[in-house]
Structure 1
Amino acid sequence: MTNPERDPESGKLTERYSDEDFLEAVAELEPASTREIAEAVGCSRRNADVRLRKLEEAGEIRKKKVGNSLTWFSVE
């Protein structure tokens, strides 16, 4: 997992977890719940949910609702 760093120009923290961290977790665990991916990446479930939805919107992964949970898959 990546570590946060400060942008030298803005002083803001950069992303702590890369898209690749989430994509790797999905590929390793699929089908996987948001909670399982969050645990694998080492972030909160809320953070994982936001990032996974962005990756899904970008066409990088896909989701399926199972009961009350979202299950994530790699794009085939």
Structure 2
Amino acid sequence: MSETKRDERGRYIPKHTEEEVLDAVQAHEPAGTSEVAEELGIKRPSADYRLRQLEEDEKVTKDMIGNSLAWSVTEEA
């Protein structure tokens, strides 16, 4: 049985807070998705999902560097 916790709607509860994800981006800024995943000890698709959520909330921005995305924390975060 999975140890992943769910909220009252049945959605997964993230293991890391928004602040922890932002701290991981700042630690490697501009941070690659893989760097954030490694810093948090999660899989790359999970990090990508969290980063895209933060982008929608305008807390991070992304730029293409070569074939990779590079994430930076916004001033509003």
With the length of structure 1 as denominator, give the TM-score of the two structures. Answer: 0.80
Pairs within 5 Å for 1:3-42: 6=5, 14-42=13-41
Counterpart position of 2:51: 52
**After TM superposition, what 4+ stretches of structure 1 lie above 2 angstroms from structure 2?**
4-14
Matched residue, 2:67? 68
The TM-score, its normalising length taken from structure 2, stands at 0.79
Percent identical pairs in the alignment equals 41
Give 1:75 deviation, angstroms.
Answer: 0.6
For residues 2-39 of structure 1, what are the alpha-carbon distances to aligned partners after superposition, in whole Å with 9 as ceiling and x for unaligned? xx774686787522121111101011110110000100
Shift of 1:61: 0.8
The 3 A distance-change label for structure 1 pair 16 and 67 is same
Give 5+ residue unaligned stretches, structure 2: none
Provide the aligned C-alpha RMSD in A: 2.2
Structure 1 alignment gaps of length 5 or more: none
